[in-house]
């Protein structure tokens, strides 16, 4: 049995688009789609619906790679290596179904559903472009309310409802054939009217699942992600270069992971690691005793010694610049040879050696970052 797809996850299928004997990638297909920056220009602030995009980033984290683009050609865009998904977020302020009539065109502006249809219909059938309306209310078409599904394709509606949707699009777009495949509706239980608590909970829970520990300062992590998304969403200039667009308007999986890494609790267990190293070291009992005494002395001293703290940073930077394709002992001897004479005279050669052991262990554990 295939794995169950999470709610709101548009089904994926591979594609190959060929033009003139060359494969067209996502960047080529995306360049063909007209953009509309009116969202960024008229709402140059953090919008509540962007929280859904943040939540979506964490839902996608187990994917190999992705980029979430905010407020460019649609509210939320998901760019994969071989496909694109567009999401239009509609917040419903009253506790009643979202009527399909509200999705139809009013005045001269294209309707929401027509905009999405044109996005998905930009390229040939082989182009994996899928679009969805996301709302905090169930959808009502005519007298039928679809309340038993959180995710469905408009092509899956009953015959009468399907006919209503097709007729609406056919009239607005002045076309006879309307294919509703790859056009979806997603009901979200997220509180889009006041999403902060939902998003903080989602970030914390996802962090624990991804990193195996609780985030350090979760509120600060929330602000970092929100501020980053706000900056991306509010960038108002168009871009003809796909790489620049991703940099200005998108957040990649690697960028999200980097934000999470900054909020991981990094426990300094270098002392216990050096203790274990001393126990395993093939030296006399007397030499082990001297090493243990020096370890106790250095651990006590470095808390108050600005000089030792500065020296540790110097060693970190030096290790970053040299080849680490050496053994632990070889690295220790190399650092001792280079920096031994730079220590204050009150530290013996054994003290200096043990200090260097601690620094290397901390570097191995990533505590230099």
Question: Same domain, yes or no, for 183 and 83?
Answer: yes
Tell me, yes or no, whether 314 and 341 share the same domain. Answer: yes
Looking at the structure, tell me whether residues 67 and 117 fall in a common domain: yes
pLDDT in tens, 80-135: 988 899 999 988 887 889 899 888 876 777 888 999 998 888 765 666 799 999 99
User: In terms of domains, do 115 and 220 share one?
Assistant: yes
The pLDDT score that the predictor gives to residue 36 is: 64
The separation between CA 204 and the C-alpha centre of its own chain, rounded to angstroms, equals: 13
**Residue 34 has what pLDDT?**
67
Which of 211, 228, 261 corresponds to the end of one domain? 261
The confidence score (pLDDT) of residue 202 equals 93
The domain boundary, picked from 226, 261, 296, lies at 261
pLDDT at residue number 11:
52
Quick one: pLDDT at residue 45? 39
- Residues above pLDDT 70, as percent of the chain: 87
- 6 falls within a domain: no
Q: Does residue 298 fall inside a structural domain?
A: yes
Question: How does the average pLDDT of the chain come out, rounded?
Answer: 85
Query: What's the mean pLDDT in 263-270?
Result: 77
- Lowest average pLDDT, out of 61-65, 247-251, 255-259, 264-268, goes to 264-268
Please report whether residue 149 resides in a domain. Answer: yes
Query: The whole model's pTM is what?
Result: 0.68
Per-residue confidence band for 21, with pLDDT thresholds at 50, 70 and 90: very low
Determine the structural domain holding residue 293 and report its residue range.
270-364
Residue that is last in its domain, among 261, 287, 313? 261
pLDDT more than 90, % of the chain: 52
Q: Are residues 187 and 310 in the same domain?
A: no
């Amino acid at each position: 049995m295939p794995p169950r797809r999470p709610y709101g996850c548009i089904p994926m299928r591979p594609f190959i688009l060929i033009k003139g004997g060359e494969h067209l990638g996502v960047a080529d297909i995306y360049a063909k789609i007209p953009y509309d920056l009116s969202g960024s220009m008229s709402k140059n602030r953090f919008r509540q619906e962007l929280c859904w995009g943040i939540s979506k980033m964490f839902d996608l984290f187990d994917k190999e790679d992705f980029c979430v683009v905010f407020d460019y050609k649609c509210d939320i865009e998901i760019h994969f290596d071989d496909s694109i998904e567009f999401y239009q977020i509609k917040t419903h302020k009253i506790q009643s179904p979202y009527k399909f009539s509200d999705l139809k065109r009013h005045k001269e502006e294209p309707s929401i559903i027509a905009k999405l249809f044109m996005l998905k219909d930009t390229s040939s059938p082989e182009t994996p472009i899928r679009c969805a309306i996301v709302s905090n209310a169930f959808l009502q078409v005519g007298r039928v309310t679809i309340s038993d599904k959180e995710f469905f394709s408009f092509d899956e509606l009953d015959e009468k409802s399907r006919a209503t949707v097709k007729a609406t699009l056919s009239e607005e777009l002045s076309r006879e054939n309307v294919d509703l495949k790859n056009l979806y509706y997603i009901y979200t239980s997220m509180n889009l009217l006041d999403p902060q608590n939902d998003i903080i909970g989602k970030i914390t829970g996802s962090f624990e699942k991804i990193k195996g520990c609780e985030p350090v300062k979760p509120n600060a992590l929330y602000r970092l992600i929100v501020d980053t998304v706000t900056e991306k969403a509010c960038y108002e200039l168009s871009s003809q270069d796909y790489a620049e667009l991703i940099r200005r308007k998108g957040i990649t999986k690697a960028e999200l992971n980097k934000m999470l890494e900054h909020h991981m609790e990094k426990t300094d267990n270098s002392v216990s690691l050096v203790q274990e190293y001393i126990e395993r070291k093939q030296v006399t009992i007397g030499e082990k005793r001297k090493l243990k005494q020096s370890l106790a002395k250095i651990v006590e001293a470095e808390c108050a010694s600005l000089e030792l703290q500065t020296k540790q940073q110097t060693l970190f930077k030096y290790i970053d610049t040299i080849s680490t394709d050496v053994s632990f002992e070889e690295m220790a001897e190399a650092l001792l040879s280079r920096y031994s004479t730079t220590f204050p005279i009150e530290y013996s050669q054994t003290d200096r050696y043990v200090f260097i052991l601690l620094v290397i262990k901390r570097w191995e554990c990533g505590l230099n970052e």
